[in-house]
Amino acid sequence: MSATTLPPTALQADAPITLRAHLRHTGALIRRNLLWIRQDPESMFDAILFPVIFTLLFVYVFGGSIGQSLGGGQEAYVQYVVPGLMAMMGMNMAQGVGTGFNTDFNSGVMDRFRSLPIGRGSVLFAKIAVEVMRMLIATAVLMVVGVLVGFHITNWPGLFASVGLSAIFGSALMWVFLTLGVIMKSAQSVQAMGFLVLMPLQFGSSIFAPTKSMPGWLQNFTEYNPLSSLADAARGLMVGGPVAHGLWVTLGWSLALTVVMAPIAIHKFRTKS
């Protein structure tokens, strides 16, 4: 069949997609994902409840003992752990985007998208954009709960810089989970893999407690653990302390994850049968 006799959709699918069209497709898909959240508000429960539960749990269960080691009791621990918990927002939202993406594949939604004459990357960028929005909502809830339990915001520019840094790292980590969402067979498999990878990163870090009492080999691991670096940078920006090392390590990890995993995720999405 000659090109002149191909149906319009086939001609559009073969035609190169401009940057303007990519942006238009991404915007339309973002709107579609937001409408889906509006129709299913329960999908926001994790973004709203997770920061509440973790803040209250760690402040009131561990705040007294760990706070004493910080030299100030529970109040000192609040100032320590709230910036650390900000580092967890991107991590947990990233895991959720992988399971949701896999569910969309198994339900046939992604097959319908791939049959349309739209940029394949637009589907993934729209997913990340919406998850970053959810992450920002979760961060806002975290800060409200943190203030209620005694967190003092003394550096507003540092707070906004910490939120931005957390969003950058979270969006980079989402490329990893989008790839897992494509290649793994079920949402449960994505969730299990995320648990195995993220739990050591989460607890082998400075998010919940200082690392000075950890064994030497574990301290070496935490020094270059991106979650630990993000927590330290956020802590330095919000309450004072060293910032440069944590900032550059976090940005380095974010750039490396995006450069390596984004092309892989898009390629796997295009070629998945």
pLDDT of 251 above 80: yes
What pLDDT is attached to residue 69? 79
Which residues lie below 8 Å from residue 17, measured CB to CB, with a gap of 6+?
A: 25, 117, 118, 119
Mean pLDDT of 220-249: 90
Q: Classify residue 43 by its DSSP letter.
A: G
pLDDT of 127 above 60: yes
**How far is 254 from 235, CA to CA, in rounded Å?**
18
The model's pLDDT over 3-16, given as tens digits with 9 standing for 90+, comes to 444 344 433 444 56
Exposed, middle or buried: residue 88 (CB in 10 Å: 0-12, 13-18, 19+)?
buried
pLDDT of 174 above 80: yes
Alpha helices in the chain (DSSP H): 8-14, 19-39, 45-69, 73-107, 109-114, 120-148, 156-183, 187-203, 216-223, 226-239, 244-271
**How far is 9 from 258, CA to CA, in rounded Å?**
32
Determine contact, residues 175/257, Cβ cutoff 8 Å. Answer: yes
**How far is 164 from 82, CA to CA, in rounded Å?**
16
DSSP 181-203: HHHSS-HHHHHHHHHHHHHHHHH
Cβ atoms within 10 A of the Cβ of 185, count? 10
Angle, CA 102 vertex, CA 84 and CA 177 arms, to 5°: 35
What pLDDT is attached to residue 97? 83
Residue 210 has φ and ψ, to the nearest 5°, of: -60, 155
What pLDDT is attached to residue 1? 43
The model's pLDDT over 26-51, given as tens digits with 9 standing for 90+, comes to 888 888 888 888 888 887 888 889 89
pLDDT of 136 above 60: yes
Among residues 202, 201, 223, which one has the least CA distance to residue 212?
223
The model's pLDDT over 181-220, given as tens digits with 9 standing for 90+, comes to 888 888 888 888 888 888 888 888 889 888 888 888 888 8
